[in-house]
A = this chain, B = another copy of it.
């Protein structure tokens, strides 16, 4: 059973501030929608900083690198440092370099955007595909010979997804059982400023369908523990004093629970009250629920 927070009872918010030192935030749907800040988000982050809390931005959005993210946060007037940002593009690049020890003579075939390429480049991972104009075409693919130099296929959200990219990724994976199959994340949708749109999980779906159940994918982003591993490699965390704030039960809240963190669901994004109390309630139950991140301002108002 979740504890419902309400600005009519500001003491509850103050208790939360007292209890947790590290605050992990999902971004889209929690701090902003597209390019619109959620009311009060900036002030809440300022309150947390003034109380010496550690702030981490933990996002499945793999279209941006950490540096892109920092710029976006700057542009929205949110103080942020690159080492506070953990995106699934970064986590995927770290997974390739540190966990798979990706060989220097191999290349990754990328379905994804420039932010993902930037993180791979920073980790010294060679890649093909991605934003390469040759693969960004609506022509049907020509011959796609097997290529054993492709040691992994990595799929993230790509708004230039097309049949040539899907066909190349499919054939590299189908022809070579040793080729690793990775995804930055599996979010089925994402909340854009133009409304809900298909997410990385939707871009990945054609490959899962064409390859069948014997070729499972390793997804790096939330809810996978691989994302928490990437954070722990950089920050010394006490899970007991860490809270994950998110808008999505099956990614953010699941991620927090699996990692032994406290969890706070905000209702400004994907998951709704109905997902908690409707006829088919989610089995993923957050510790706390509040209508919006901005509600945490109530803690200060109570001082």
Contacts and interface: CB of A to CB of B under 8 A. Distances in A.
A144 interface: yes
A143 interface: yes
Given A197-B170, A206-B206, A209-B201, A162 B188 contact: no
Nearest to A202: B206
A196 interface: yes
A210 B194 contact: no
B189 A171 contact: no
Contacts of A75: none
Interface string A3-43: 00000000000000000000000000000000000000000
A161 B159 contact: no
Contacts of A212: 188
Contacts of A204: 209
A106 interface: no
Interface in A134-191: 136-138, 140-144, 158-163, 166-167, 170-171, 174, 188-189
A84 to B, nearest CB: 28
Interface residues of A, number: 38
Given A201-B209, A202-B206, A207-B202, A195 B144 contact: yes
Contact of A210 (B144, B195, B198, B207): B198
A140 B159 contact: yes
Contacts of A163: 158-161, 198, 203
Contact of A196 (B174, B194, B196, B207): B174
B138 A198 contact: no
A208 interface: yes
A199 interface: yes
A128 interface: no
A270 B141 CA distance: 20
Contacts of A161: 161-163, 166
A198 B159 contact: no
A209 B188 CA distance: 6
A205 interface: yes
A209 B208 CA distance: 11
6 contacts: A138-B138, A160-B163, A170-B189, A170-B198, A174-B196, A188-B209
Q: Which 7 A-B pairs have the closest CB atoms?
A: A205-B205, A202-B206, A140-B159, A205-B209, A198-B210, A202-B210, A138-B160
